[in-house]
Amino acid sequence: MTATPSEPQFEASSPRCGERRIACIIPAFNEANHIGRVIRAVVQVNFLDQIIVVDDGSSDGTAAEARSAAAHDPRLTIVVHDRNRGKGEAVLTGIREAGACQALLFLDADLEEFTSDHVFRLLEPVLAGRADMTLGVFRGGRWNTDFSHWLTPWLTGQRCIRQSLIPQLRKAAARGYGLETAWTVASSMNHWRVTVVPLSGVWHPPSEIHRGFFRGAFNRARMYAQIVRAWYLAADMESLFLRVAVRARAGLVLVGMILFVGGGKLGFQFAKVAPPQGPHPFPNLPIDRIQRLLVIAAHPDDETIAAGGLIQRVLEGGGQVKVVFVTNSDGERFAPLVVDEHIGLDPQAYIKVGKQSQQEALAALHQLKVDSQDVFFLGYPDRGVGEMWDQDWTRNCPYQSAYTRAVRSPYPATFDPSSAYCGSDVVSDLLTILKVYRPDAILLPHPDDRDPDNRGTSNFARLALTLQNEENPSYQPLALGYLVHYGQYPDPRGLHPQESLVPPVGLLQNGAMWSELVLAPAELATKADALHLYRSQEKLDGSFLNSFLREDEVYLELPFLQMAPAGFARVPLTAMAEGNRLPLAPSADPGARLPPAAGSDLVGWDTARVGNLIMIAAETRGPLVPGVNYSLHLKLPDGQNVDLQGTPEDVALKRHGFGGEINLGAWGNPQVIGFTAQTRLDALLDQTSWQFLSVNYQWP
């Protein structure tokens, strides 16, 4: 294995290949699940003299998988970047490693149905002297990738190039995903002979599948930005004609991508996912990335349920852990009767329950070796956090607890006693903790948790995190969602310490990036001891608590979403899975439910931007239904609510859906917006989880 220099150069500086020889370069980032198939196809080609895999800072064992697939083939060289530098830098590193060769073959690491015959077809025109460069385009694989290659064949990552032409590439334009465009411009300006080679049956999964939906969507938007940037840098704009031509071409390409992001959205949106098989179906949590962990919990006991093992592991590794409780669990209607046998249900009885919850939380965390100085109680109202999120904070503050009757924390042990029960104060408290502590990993409730306090806590935490990222773009901690309340999860209920936690199938859709931490027996035993210290909760629902004493803990990665301020962008944000609908709002008949219909079932998001105008479209599984109310709801950083009635006319390029638009200038140019969609017919039919979009993001 070869370590890379700090600044890879691409001049041919070593005769590793020999001037009549051929090297294959495969850049890879977190492709352990795919690269093996590509390597096994490549090693069957005997006239390849060198196979170079450039691991661009992967964390999933990509290099090990490549080495295993090569079966000790001496032609294999693995070069590892110390961090992720982007595809362009990875390819340039591979070129440098190859040295002087006759031809260089470039392949993506995630190809499906790729064979040694495809390798020969890419190489033959260049080796025979009929072409300077070949472009491998997908045909007959998957319709979405076929269409993408038909629309923009020059963006293919499969190509063979005469090595002597490499110096004509403009290195500045080749950064990131601008590499293919930089080659295209170089070939046009220098009159290369280019041959298009159909790759029958080949395809690759869109970025949203193997990176995860949110991260993949952002990665796609960043890719388009870098492609447009490459047009300008590579062409050098030496003439007005060229400047106009490139601008027009870049605009058409980007619009095409906006309209037909078919590399991703329709290709995966409706895919059904089978329950994962095996005892540990998810990749390992990257525990080595976590040194400063912040756990945000709506209620005392959630932190131990979700992260009792992770907290121990971080502390045992010399890291730090801080825990934030948003409420004190003082809103269980009959808790005073069950917990304290208190006959009256007056405000003081609920406050007494809240104080007991604080003491139990400190005892449980002490069992996990968390110092009491690292535990913060914000003191917001139990069973009120979800309502506080929904309120317009500029008009409807403070909120009054239905149980303690308080409008600010009545507890002496409160992070900021001056904070009122208002959403803006929740965000302020969380921002203060983020700025002072600067965690590198944050645990927060899953956005689709069925408990209103958990959902509200997730929304407040993600808004604060996005605002902090806006203030300091370099700060992007690992954000992980944990699930507590969702139908019959965990299934089966009760004590099953030999079984794994498996998220509901509805939350495994669309490339959701779940990971797991497998607990050692001693860690599980300590977690159980800590959880049993929540004696009041054991009285209320001990079987539910025991259901989380499993051999692992599972988390969903929640990356940041950003949109550039200029030009066009289209970012699919989330897709609600069928069966992922919220329960109906209360009606006269408590057992009544409106039948789900395709036209009221929300399945996805699209957003687009032109200057200050943000267009938001929600997609439905079927045609819109007369009488159903379709609406979009936005949350601005100051807590203002903006309600938009969706209409079919607002939706472009959607089979079924509704949408609306917001002019950022009319609302003070907020740096972040949150939004959700709802369908109603007297009662709530469906609602998406809240999404948060940074709109101050600059083109890379």
What is the secondary structure of 190-237 as a DSSP string? TT--EEEEEEET-B---HHHHS-HHHHHHHHHHHHHHHHHHHHHHHTT
Q: For 343-363, what is the mean pLDDT?
A: 89
Options 3.40.50.1470, 3.40.50.150, 3.40.50.10540, 3.40.50.10320; CATH for 287-557 is: 3.40.50.10320
Longest dimension (CA), the chain: 93
Predicted pLDDT of residue 220: 46
pLDDT of 576 over the 50 cut: no
pLDDT tens for residues 298-352?
A: 999 999 999 999 999 999 999 999 999 999 999 887 777 766 665 567 899 899 9
pLDDT of 262 over the 80 cut: no
Predicted pLDDT of residue 254: 44
What distance in Å separates the CA atoms of residue 507 and residue 492, rounded to the nearest whole number? 17
Cβ partners under 8 Å of residue 170, min gap 6: 182, 185, 186, 233, 234, 236
Select from 196, 188, 48 the least CA-distant residue to 134.
196
What is the secondary structure of 484-553 as a DSSP string? --STT-SSS-S--TTS-----GGGS-TT--EEEEEPPHHHHHHHHHHHHT-HHHHHHHHHHHHTT-SSEE
Instruction: Write down the CATH number for the domain with range 598-694.
Output: 2.60.40.10
- In Å, how far from its chain's centre is CA 187? 36
Question: In degrees to the nearest 10, what's the CA dihedral of 387, 392, 397, 398?
Answer: 20
Rounded CA Rg of the chain: 27
pLDDT tens for residues 201-215?
A: 898 876 544 444 444
419, 308 Cβ separation under 8 angstroms: no
What is the DSSP-derived secondary structure letter of residue 5? P
Tell me the Ramachandran region of residue 471: left when phi exceeds 0, alpha when psi lies from -120 to 50, beta otherwise. Answer: alpha
Cβ partners under 8 Å of residue 439, min gap 6: 292, 293, 294, 322, 477
Residue 365 identity: L
Q: Where are the beta strands (DSSP E) in 338-385?
A: 375-380
CATH topology of domain 2-204: Spore Coat Polysaccharide Biosynthesis Protein SpsA; Chain A (3.90.550)
CATH 3.90.550.10 residue ranges of the chain are: 2-204
Predicted pLDDT of residue 266: 29
CATH 2.60.40.10 residue ranges of the chain are: 598-694
Q: Of 64-78, 339-353, 425-439, which range is least confident?
A: 339-353
Select from 212, 173, 10 the least CA-distant residue to 104.
10
Query: Residue 609 — pLDDT band, cuts 50, 70, 90?
Result: low
Q: For 652-662, what is the mean pLDDT?
A: 67
> What are the counts of helices (DSSP H) followed by strands (DSSP E) for the chain?
18, 23
pLDDT of 608 over the 60 cut: yes
User: How far lies 218's CA from each of 421, 433, 561, 574, 623, in Å?
Assistant: 34, 27, 6, 12, 28
Sign of CA dihedral 227, 232, 236, 242: positive
Query: Residue 48 — pLDDT band, cuts 50, 70, 90?
Result: very high
pLDDT of 245 over the 60 cut: no
Which helix (H) or strand (E) segment holds residue 19: the answer is none
92, 14 Cβ separation under 8 angstroms: no
Q: Determine what percent of the chain is predicted with pLDDT higher than 70.
A: 74
386, 455 Cβ separation under 8 angstroms: yes
Selected residue with higher pLDDT from 401 and 618: 401
CATH 3.40.50.10320 residue ranges of the chain are: 287-557
pLDDT of 20 over the 90 cut: no
Query: Residue 651 — pLDDT band, cuts 50, 70, 90?
Result: very low
Which helix (H) or strand (E) segment holds residue 353: the answer is helix 347-367
Q: For 539-562, what is the mean pLDDT?
A: 85
Select from 347, 346, 327, 577 the least CA-distant residue to 451.
327
| Whole-number average pLDDT of the chain | 79
Tell me the Ramachandran region of residue 23: left when phi exceeds 0, alpha when psi lies from -120 to 50, beta otherwise. Answer: beta
126, 103 Cβ separation under 8 angstroms: yes
What distance in Å separates the CA atoms of residue 131 and residue 124, rounded to the nearest whole number? 9
What distance in Å separates the CA atoms of residue 435 and residue 472, rounded to the nearest whole number? 10
User: How far lies 208's CA from each of 219, 390, 694, in Å?
Assistant: 8, 30, 19
357, 339 Cβ separation under 8 angstroms: no
Query: Residue 279 — pLDDT band, cuts 50, 70, 90?
Result: low
